[in-house]
Chain A
Amino acid sequence: MPAIVVAGLERAFGEFRAVQGIDLAVDEGEIYGFLGPNGAGKTTTVRMLTTLLLPTGGRASVAGHDVVGEARQVRASIGVALQEAALDPLMTGRELIRLQATLQGLPPAEGRRRADSLLERVDLAAAADRRVGTYSGGMQRRLDLAAALVHEPRVLFLDEPTTGLDPVSRKTIWEEVRALNEDGTTVFLTTQYLEEADQLADNVGIIDSGRIVAEGTPEALKAEVGNPHIELVVGEGAVAEAERVLVEIGKLLPPKDGKRVLVEVEQGSAEIPRVVRALDEAGIEVESLELVRPTLDDVFVDKTGYHLEEEEAGEESGERSPA
């Protein structure tokens, strides 16, 4: 049974249509990566799915419950860690998790037990009685994640959980998400990081301007935009000869510069020996060779006409804060 089903979901703010009729389905136990630039409609979608915002059209159900008609049942089944960890800087980590346990209806003793266990799990036990305002960005995200898990939700919504984090903190969050998923939790993860979607998601939905423009497994999406290619750097003056040899193996792609030759290979790495052998037999010296697979950015470009990475880089330079 799908954990999340969305059909024609819409949200307008006055004249502006932030989400324009999206459809998606997320299976139980899946990590679904919702990828898109800032302002694409990711957060608005998550807010509707978590019952924080009423849709203006369409339907959605989470854990088998309608997000409008059965909002309370939805909220009992989900854990939510929203963008910009919604933490009170004046509370301690332990106070926050215990409050969250109370909000989820756990008995006091059980709430205390889970709070201790979760603080341990996210490596915050030592800082548990410090005020949240003194935590680094990574610690705050881990605390937010722990709070979202206190009632062992069936479906976990993570809205840009690693935005603004340093690479080490980001990897820690990824490991935790993977571990949760292995325990059977369905994860709906929004991100503007291609690598994050690629690394974590079983399925990816790409959203742009409020519409889903592509959906599928990362591999299938990448396969849609073309085959991998081999990028070779050959000796001075050997480019033309290398191209003559390689055109027999695969389609030549436009060269990046005078020393590189790019050849598309349907079988990927399996064709590397054949390429090396052919060049060796022709007496062409290879300085370097690299198999380049299509990335989700290629998929993004193919579907939207612009690079997500550029957006991401722009956002990072402007918004990152030290962890």
Chain B
Amino acid sequence: MSDLATTARVVRALGARSIRQTFRRPQLISPIVVFPTLLLAIQTGGAGAGIELPGFPPVQSFLQFMLAGSMMQSMMLAGNSGGIAFAVDIEMGFTDRLFAAPIPRFAIVLGRLAGTAALGLFASIWFLAIGLIFGAEIEGGVPGALLAMALITASALAVGGIGAAIALQTGSASVVQGLFPLVLVVLFLSSAFFPQALMVEPARTIAEYNPFSFIAEGVREPIIAGIDLTQTLEAVAAIAGIIALGLVLSARALKHRLRVG
């Protein structure tokens, strides 16, 4: 079997383990599914009249608008949970088992990220299903839904890269868990939950440059209006940037981990 095929099998096996681990540990799956679903229910129930505000983009319902935000929240928390799980692996010595195997060590990080990406895909399907069940339309049709799913999946991989890098650098699940509020701050300072045009300063300016705004808009547009090439490309660029940052940080953190043992 070639090196590449072996590495691909390892990444798949580690990804599968990562998914099983998440579903077997309630504290990892709960933030990805339960928390964003509850928030979606609360917000659509309580702030539905927001769509009447001048400047609010034309949408069929507040639920339709919120789906992208919920997917973003779930995706980011999947990245955070992936980082926590990776740090737990380091704390309990499980990563030593992986590092002692004759595989490229970056495959270990990729395996974790593959699992996180799969959770992102799961999150996108979950929320699209909720939207459809409760009457939200996907204006972009099946291609639009597939685009939203692809963007969320890729974003989960990107955010997971940052989580993995922090886990490798610190080796502490508590530190990665401590980033949970930061994830929410970054998300609320984007256009994930609220139209940028209706924000006040300085939140509006921050949201304007926040890469997660580009991703949120890229995911939202096929749901509320239809596929828009510019917004899609902006989202892809933002995701690519975060992936690149995650890869660089992960590579450095991996070296650090091997240096300190």
Contacts and interface: CB of A to CB of B under 8 A. Distances in A.
A52 B261 contact: yes
A101 B103 CA distance: 12
Contacts of A44: 261
A51 interface: yes
A94 interface: no
Interface residues of B, number: 27
A90 B21 contact: yes
A17 interface: no
Interface stretch (B92-100, B144-152, B172-180): B92-100
Given A82-B96, A100-B97, A88 B102 contact: no
A133 to B, nearest CB: 10
A72 to B, nearest CB: 5
Interface string B4-24: 001001100110010011001
B1 A107 contact: yes
B92 A88 contact: yes
A270 to B, nearest CB: 48
Contacts of A51: 99-100
B89 interface: yes
Contacts of B9: 102, 108
B101 interface: yes
Given A90-B25, A103-B10, A52 B101 contact: no
A103 B9 CA distance: 9
Interface stretch (A73-81, A185-193, A211-219): A73-81
Interface in A34-59: 44, 47, 50-54
A164 to B, nearest CB: 14
A99 interface: yes
Interface centre among B1, B98, B100 (most CB of A within 10 A): B100
B17 A99 contact: yes
Interface of A: 13, 44, 47, 50-54, 72-73, 75-76, 78, 80, 82, 84, 86-88, 90-91, 95, 99-100, 102-105, 107-108, 131, 147
What are the nearest 8 A-B pairs in CB distance? A86-B93, A103-B101, A53-B261, A76-B102, A75-B102, A102-B13, A90-B24, A80-B100
Interface of B: 1, 6, 9-10, 13-14, 17, 20-21, 24-25, 89, 92-94, 96-103, 258-261
